[in-house]
Amino acid sequence: MQVVRNCTNSLKAVTFRCLSNNVKPNKQANLADTFINRNPRNLERMRIAYKPDGYHIDKPGKSYWHKLELKASNKYVTAFVNHFENGEVLKACTSEWCIKKQLYKSKDTTAYINLGRILGYRCLQTGLTELRCDIHPPNEDGKVALFLKALEEAGVKLQEPPQYKTPYPWDLHRPEKPWEVTE
């Protein structure tokens, strides 16, 4: 949940002067001072949501909003997207009939590549396009590396942006606000 301050009041004077008398802000009086966006994923997309830091002697990999994980069983491969609070939110597995139906083997290199493509497609469909990835492929052209490559080719970024922390008034610099940058 997000509380947003209405800063139109401060802007009103400026805007009025520029726009002369064409504007009829008759409905403006109804606006609440605070606006609450209930979308739980909004702050993460705006990069200002809380992100756990972990303890400084922890093994790295605790600080994420969404994280990619890969598990291989004896017969199948499963790729998950985990959220730090909600746990497993998205999944693709070669044991699912929709994938298995079109594969020849469910754990060979082809299966890994296709699993990457399918998970990438599902990530784009669900708007989770930036994931943290702590998977280090053992060899450069192995199964896992090809899985990650397929995922990246599908349009998923395997790196999460850092959390924006608002500067204190006495801080040296004011870092750029990510939501004010137009891409």
Partner 1 sequence: MSSVLIKIITSTLYDNARPGSLIFVRNGHHLRGKPPGIAKSLEEKLAAKNYKDPAIHYKVDIGLPPPQINKSKLLQERLKILRSRKNDPELERASRKCQLKIDIEKSYNDWLETTGPYHIRRIAEHYGIFEHLFGDAYFNAWVPLNITYGNNDILNPVYYGNVLKPEETKDKPSVNFKSDETSLWTLLLTNPDGHLTNNEKEYIHWFVGNIPSNQLDKAETIIDYLQPFPPKGTGFHRFVYILYKQNKKLDFSAFKKEGKCIDLDERTFSTYEFYRSFQDEITPAGISFFQSDWSPNVKTFFNKILNMKEPIYEYDFPPPYIRKDEWFPLRQPFNLYMDKHRDSKQVNKEFLVRKLKNVHPFKATPPPVPYPNAVFIDSSVPSWLKTEIRKSRMKWGRINDIE
- Cβ proximity to partner 1, 102 vs 139, nearer residue: 102
- Nearest approach, Cβ of residue 133 and partner 1 (Å): 19
Q: How far is the CB of 172 from partner 1 (least distance, A)?
A: 5
Q: Which is nearer to partner 1, 102 or 159 (CB)?
A: 102
Name the token pair of 141.
């052209």
What minimum distance in Å lies between the beta carbon of 90 and partner 1? 6
Query: Which is nearest to 136 in space by CA: 57, 83, 68?
Result: 68
Backbone φ and ψ for 68, nearest 5 degrees, come out as: -90, 135
Instruction: Report, in Å, the least distance between residue 51 CB and partner 1.
Output: 15
Of 119, 115, 92, nearest to 103 by C-alpha is 115
Q: Nearer to partner 1 by C-beta: 108 or 134?
A: 108
Judge contact between 164 and 48, C-beta under 8 A: yes
Q: Which is nearer to partner 1, 134 or 167 (CB)?
A: 167
Q: Using CA atoms, how far apart are residues 77 and 68, in angstroms rounded to an integer?
A: 13
